[in-house]
Amino acid sequence: MSQRCKIVPERCIACGLCALYAPNIFDYDEDGIVLFAQEPTARQQFIIDEEQETVQTAYRKCPTRAILLEK
């Protein structure tokens, strides 16, 4: 089942954990704020099955809840 991932850049403190745990999904802008690697202007995207575990780890590790998951 696909999961939708949302990001809230306003909450991001540029800690780097999301890109560490899910480098194929998350990246950063020039200020270190989270964005999606494949769609930098998007604020949500569906996560393919192969990446769901890494995204869930990034979600759990995010200290400010800048990453949100929905089923």
pLDDT on residue 71: 80
Note the pLDDT tens digit of each residue in 16-68.
Answer: 999 999 999 999 999 999 999 999 999 999 999 999 999 999 999 999 999 99
**Distances from the Cα of 31 to the Cα of 27, 50, 68, 71, angstroms:** 11, 29, 21, 30
For residue 30, the domain's CATH number is: 3.30.70.20
pLDDT on residue 14: 96
Asked if 13 and 65 count as a contact pair (C-beta separation under 8 A), the reply is no
pLDDT on residue 34: 97
Structural domain including 10 reads 3-70
Give the number of domains in the chain.
1
Is the pLDDT confidence value at 1 over 70?
Answer: no
